[in-house]
Amino acid sequence: MDQNFSLMAQSRANYYTAGSPVQFVRVELLKGDTTGEVAVCLTFKNVGTEPLTGLVVHFKCKDAAGQVLCEDDFYYEQLNAQPGAVFGSDDAVYVSDTPVSSVEVEQDRAFLNGRGVDLRNYKRVRLNMPRVLPGSIAKTLQQRTGNVQLTCVPQDTEYGWFCACGAFHPNEENTTVCSECGGDRAGIRCRNARMAERESQRIRRGNSRMTESDREEQKMKVNEYQKLAMTTLNPALDKKDVLINSVMGLCGESGEAIDIVKKWMAQGHELDKEHLVKELGDIAWYLAEAATALDISLEDVFKGNIDKLKSRYPEGFETQKSLIRTEEDK
């Protein structure tokens, strides 16, 4: 049965495969308008110097509980992907009637002008994804360039550069024009730098006139965080899957935080505060997800905890009251 598919969610690859002529770009989840089935589509880019005629990849799809729904190879055949071209988004590697929560991709073999190249030994390098532009700067940049895809801070790394649309271009690609949005590298960076400086000056002028109450008003409220964080929640998950994913995520990210502190306490490492702060942010995200699954606001969760602590320690912490608790106080 023919049906149309609409985009549910997409995620860019957070790594770069050093030296490989083929780079994994993103995964997209599409939903059928008739059956509700979920189609998994993968996008790749030819960053080499020769036309790409074929690609073999291995993929694994999992649900919210981490159970494998499908693990298989997929063959992209009869390609004519020229250097700099992106491809693959029109081919569904897997169609499922069960919500897909995560997709793992391994590149196996590429064919350059018919010549096979083993991709399995290329090492991945984790990328720090670009920051999102402030709304006012993004809007101005989009208006001045006519490109509505520009939402990120353009940046250079030792491995390549990020366009303001979020696309990563490794050094191997050797290009100054984004293959995804068509933006010019130097032009976008120049415009963004000028607008960022103007915005910074405007904020400095505004801050000099702000009262303490104004500054308090600008602080992000907890429910605002919950609302913003949940815009990145996988829409394919039902309430049960969201709850399961949240408590599993809380355990996993707490373990990551524990590992950082363990290395500091027991293995002679410097305390990696920046990494620890990121893990705390991930814990906050999963906490917001758990509250959302329970149809409750984070503010109510925090208020309930404060009320419990006030009841337990009305005069502040006391060791005796910590050791001896009533059944209602647990």
Query: According to the model, what pLDDT value does residue 94 have?
Result: 87
**Cα-trace Rg, the chain:** 24
Query: According to the model, what pLDDT value does residue 82 have?
Result: 93
> Do residues 21 and 174 touch, judged by C-beta distance below 8 A?
no
What's the pLDDT tens digit per position in 29-51? 888 888 888 889 999 999 988 99
What's the pLDDT tens digit per position in 107-121? 999 999 878 999 999
Q: What are phi and psi of 2, to 5 degrees?
A: -75, 140
Identify whether residues 21 and 44 lie together within a single domain: yes
Nearest to 28 by CA among 1, 61, 56: 61
What's the pLDDT tens digit per position in 314-328? 777 766 556 555 545
Residue 60 pLDDT greater than 50, yes or no: yes
What's the pLDDT tens digit per position in 183-224? 888 887 777 777 666 766 666 666 565 566 655 555 668 888
pLDDT band at 283 (very low <50, low <70, confident <90, very high): very high
What contacts 124, CB < 8 A, 6 or more positions away?
Answer: 15, 16, 17, 18
Spatial separation of the C-alpha atoms in residues 187 and 256, rounded to whole Å: 40
**C-alpha 187, offset from chain centre:** 26
Identify whether residues 62 and 102 lie together within a single domain: yes
What's the pLDDT tens digit per position in 296-319? 999 889 888 888 888 777 777 766
Q: What is the CATH number of the domain that holds 239?
A: 1.10.287
What contacts 23, CB < 8 A, 6 or more positions away?
Answer: 13, 16, 17, 44, 45, 47, 168, 170
Q: Given 190, 217, 244, which residue is the final one in a domain?
A: 217
Identify whether residues 226 and 212 lie together within a single domain: no
Identify whether residues 64 and 168 lie together within a single domain: no
Q: Which of 60-69, 135-144, 203-212 has the lowest mean pLDDT?
A: 203-212
Identify whether residues 74 and 160 lie together within a single domain: no
Spatial separation of the C-alpha atoms in residues 72 and 61, rounded to whole Å: 9
> Do residues 100 and 62 touch, judged by C-beta distance below 8 A?
yes
Identify whether residues 122 and 143 lie together within a single domain: no
Give the length of the chain: 330
**C-alpha 289, offset from chain centre:** 15
Identify whether residues 207 and 242 lie together within a single domain: no
Identify whether residues 120 and 16 lie together within a single domain: yes
Query: According to the model, what pLDDT value does residue 1 have?
Result: 44
Query: According to the model, what pLDDT value does residue 2 have?
Result: 66
> Do residues 53 and 79 touch, judged by C-beta distance below 8 A?
yes
Q: Given 217, 246, 280, which residue is the final one in a domain?
A: 217
Number of domains in the chain: 3
Q: For 239-263, what is the mean pLDDT?
A: 89
Nearest to 21 by CA among 62, 52, 67: 52
Q: What is the CATH number of the domain that holds 41?
A: 2.60.40
> Do residues 9 and 28 touch, judged by C-beta distance below 8 A?
yes
Query: According to the model, what pLDDT value does residue 176 have?
Result: 86
Q: Given 107, 126, 145, which residue is the final one in a domain?
A: 126
Identify whether residues 204 and 228 lie together within a single domain: no
Q: Which of 90-94, 202-206, 256-260, 312-316 has the lowest mean pLDDT?
A: 202-206
What's the pLDDT tens digit per position in 151-190? 888 888 888 888 888 889 988 888 888 888 888 888 877 7
Identify whether residues 291 and 324 lie together within a single domain: yes
Q: For 65-75, what is the mean pLDDT?
A: 90
Query: According to the model, what pLDDT value does residue 42 have?
Result: 94
Residue 173 lies in domain: 135-217
Identify whether residues 110 and 149 lie together within a single domain: no
Identify whether residues 111 and 13 lie together within a single domain: yes
